[in-house]
């Protein structure tokens, strides 16, 4: 027969997941820094979730599927049932350390398998039964009721590294950046591009190289745009998606590049 203390512990364990989804208290709007996570599956994350990824962090929140601000734990995304560890959470943790007076909010909008051609007004992505751009803008507008959008993190391009798509990628990405900035009313909003996975077991073809070249060119010649290297990052066994540890590192790299783009040093307390 269980003791009252044992029963209490069991009840706490059952309630813990529910509490993680409880609405979180919010700071003043100007102290709530919002970042939009956009792209396809490597932004959504497919890394294996471990205990460390489920621990809520102070001042790090995410917008749930239901539109509530809750503690940010992986998986942050919900595009597919296989969603796992992505770069967003460690990025947000680095931002929270950088800005000790701010709360960081993540807005997950990535859609696994989506081509950049679906990230247009009215665009539809069959795999996730969603409208990537329209849905992202709706969620961004919801987030802006409570905070201020500070940047967009983008990881996408695998779906466009193909003979019939790669040549148009540069034009499409330039248009997307302009469209996001115009739609959010911030013509200089930082836009950070993550490099495609470089996995020896699955070498790039010419079309992947074309997408990579377009991303690097845009980051180099477009104001307030950065490029995050994937050098040395490792994949899951599928040789398509970054593993969990690489995703955590990728998030830290996104933070470093973001700070470079906005002209701030990576030291806690910079304003």
Q: What is the pLDDT of residues 75-130, one digit of tens each?
A: 999 999 999 999 999 999 999 999 999 999 999 999 999 999 999 999 999 999 99
For 217, other C-beta atoms within 10 Å of its C-beta total 14
pLDDT in tens, 226-269: 999 999 999 999 999 999 999 999 999 999 999 999 998 654 43
Tell me how far apart the alpha carbons of residues 123 and 115 are, in angstroms, rounded to a whole number.
10
Structural domains for the chain: 30-261 (3.40.50.1110)
The answer to whether the pTM exceeds 0.85 is yes
Q: 71 is written with which tokens? A: 């503690």
Run of H or E residues at 250: helix 244-261
Instruction: Give the model's pLDDT for residue 9.
Output: 38
Residue with the bigger pLDDT between 3 and 177: it is 177
Tell me how far apart the alpha carbons of residues 96 and 236 are, in angstroms, rounded to a whole number.
28
pLDDT in tens, 137-176: 999 999 999 999 999 999 999 999 999 999 999 999 999 9
Instruction: Give the model's pLDDT for residue 17.
Output: 43
CA 24 to chain centre: 20
pLDDT at residue 7 tops 50: no
pLDDT in tens, 184-217: 999 999 999 999 999 999 999 999 999 999 999 9
CA 171 to chain centre: 22
């Amino acid at each position: 027969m269980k003791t009252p203390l044992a029963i209490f512990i069991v009840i706490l364990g059952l309630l813990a997941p529910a509490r993680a989804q409880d609405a979180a208290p919010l700071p003043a709007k100007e102290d709530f820094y919002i970042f939009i996570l956009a792209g396809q599956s490597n932004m959504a994350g497919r890394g294996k979730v471990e205990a460390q990824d489920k621990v809520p962090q102070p001042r790090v929140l995410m917008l749930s599927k239901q539109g509530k601000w809750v503690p940010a734990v992986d998986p942050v995304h919900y595009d597919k049932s296989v969603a796992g560890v992505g770069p967003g959470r460690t990025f947000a943790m680095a931002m929270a350390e950088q800005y000790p007076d701010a709360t960081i909010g993540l807005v997950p909008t990535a859609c696994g398998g989506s081509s950049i051609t679906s990230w247009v007004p009215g665009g539809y992505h069959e795999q996730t039964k969603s409208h990537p751009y329209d849905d992202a803008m709706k969620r961004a507008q919801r987030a802006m009721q409570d905070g201020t959008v500070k940047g967009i993190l983008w990881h996408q391009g695998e779906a466009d590294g193909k003979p019939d798509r790669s040549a148009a990628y540069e034009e499409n990405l330039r248009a997307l950046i302009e469209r996001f900035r115009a739609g959010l009313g911030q013509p200089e909003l930082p836009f950070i591009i993550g490099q495609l996975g470089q996995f020896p077991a699955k070498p790039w073809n010419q079309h992947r190289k074309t997408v990579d070249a377009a991303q690097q060119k845009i980051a180099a010649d477009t104001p307030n745009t950065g490029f995050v290297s994937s050098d040395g990052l490792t994949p899951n066994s599928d040789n398509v998606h970054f593993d969990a540890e690489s995703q955590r590192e990728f998030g830290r790299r996104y933070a470093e590049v973001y700070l470079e783009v906005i002209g701030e040093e990576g030291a806690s307390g910079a304003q």
